[in-house]
Amino acid sequence: MFKSFPAVMTVVVALGVPAPTGQLLPDLRQAPVGCPGGTNLDPAQCQDWDVCLVADASKPRGPCLETGPASAVRLRFTTSADNVGDGPLVIYAQRSADEPTMRARQAFQSGVDGTIPDSFDQAQRDLPATVYYEPSATHEHWHLLDFEHFMLRTPDGRTVVTDRKNGFCLGDRYTTADAADLPARPQDPASAEGRLGKFLRANMCKRHDPAATSVKQGISVGWGDDYGYKVDFQWLDLTRVPSGVYDVVNVVNADRSLVEKSYDNNVSSIAIALQWPWGARNPPDVISSPPHVKLIRSCPGRERCAVAWPP
């Protein structure tokens, strides 16, 4: 979870890989930024975000200070990804005992008989992402890299800050707000998708098992996976960001390496106004007070949110 990724990142076009014939595909939807998973609130009312002053920038967790001096300022926010497709997202990973990371494959449910591959060898599609063991005390389990990314951008689309968190342990953590409207959601506990869902609701990705050589993770239809804003690296670093208006952009499956039914809903954003104390344009050399951050609007399903500001 603690690896950095390149400073410039954007949503890319589809890779052109045809969907597997006769398979039921997932559809990953980036939920509203800063909202708890599965919420039915107006996204503009969500409060799962804050501004955190920290004394030691080398530490991924707080505590948050009320006053400085602070070495870093972090905008923390919850991120969530829903599966609203026709089939589950299923990822198997495997390694030999002497390899440090696992290779990953995506598996697809059959649209003919409803079966779901139950091993790495049976999974149909190789993935470029790897799975690694995160030894941090708050995790200690296996993480899939590059599932979701977030960044701070100017209204014209220039990336200012990128995240440092790109590892995820996926499972069924909450039901989506529209789960009852999704015909493919698991309903029979004895079905293949029902049994998978039972596993994913308890899935901790081989926690406390760094010697594991295989792991399974994913998200059922009508379910989602969220990371709360107090989790390590659920933040963007505002320490040297000038006052101004910015977009906080979240993207799930940014490289589109995971095959989905649709890629049209893989991004969401919020527009924020950031102002350093006393009307300063730039942050002070010694930060004693946090900048004021105001949520201007929330834009689920949109990559750019502040472009129309001021209205």
Task: Quote the pLDDT of residue 187.
Answer: 95
Task: Quote the pLDDT of residue 308.
Answer: 61
Cis before 310? omega within 30? yes
> 3-class DSSP state for residue 247?
strand
* Residue among 180, 200, 198 at smallest CA distance from 190: 198
Q: Give every CB contact of residue 121 below 8 A, 6+ residues apart in sequence.
A: none
Task: Quote the pLDDT of residue 61.
Answer: 77
Q: How far is CA 298 from CA 74, 238, 269, 275, 305, in A?
A: 19, 19, 6, 19, 7
Is residue 310 a part of any domain in this protein?
A: no
Is residue 242 a part of any domain in this protein?
A: yes
pLDDT in tens, the chain (311 residues): 333 323 333 333 344 455 577 899 999 999 999 999 999 999 999 999 999 999 999 888 778 999 989 999 999 999 999 999 999 999 999 999 999 999 999 999 999 999 999 999 999 999 999 999 988 777 789 999 999 999 999 999 999 999 986 689 999 999 999 999 999 999 999 999 999 999 999 999 999 999 999 999 999 999 999 999 998 889 999 999 999 999 999 999 999 999 999 999 999 999 999 999 999 999 999 999 999 999 999 999 999 999 866 65
Amino acid at 252: V
Task: Quote the pLDDT of residue 12.
Answer: 36
Q: Which 8-state DSSP code applies to residue 303?
A: S
> 3-class DSSP state for residue 45?
helix
Number of H helices and E strands in the chain, helices first, is 1, 20
Containing structural domain, residue 263: 23-299
Is residue 224 a part of any domain in this protein?
A: yes
Is residue 90 a part of any domain in this protein?
A: yes
d(CA 160, CA 228): 23
> 3-class DSSP state for residue 153?
strand
Is residue 246 a part of any domain in this protein?
A: yes
* Residue among 107, 98, 72 at smallest CA distance from 286: 72
Is residue 3 a part of any domain in this protein?
A: no
d(CA 87, CA 258): 13
The pTM score is 0.91
Enter the tokens of residue 192: 């293949």
d(CA 223, CA 134): 24
Task: Quote the pLDDT of residue 11.
Answer: 36
d(CA 51, CA 291): 8
Q: How far is CA 190 from CA 152, 181, 198, 221, 263, in A?
A: 44, 21, 10, 16, 31
Enter the tokens of residue 223: 């379910």
d(CA 311, CA 295): 14
State the first-to-last Cα distance of the chain, in angstroms, to the nearest integer. 38
d(CA 18, CA 21): 8
d(CA 290, CA 276): 7
Is residue 186 a part of any domain in this protein?
A: yes
Task: Quote the pLDDT of residue 18.
Answer: 57
Number of domains in the chain: 1
Place of tokens 């209204």: 155
Is residue 8 a part of any domain in this protein?
A: no
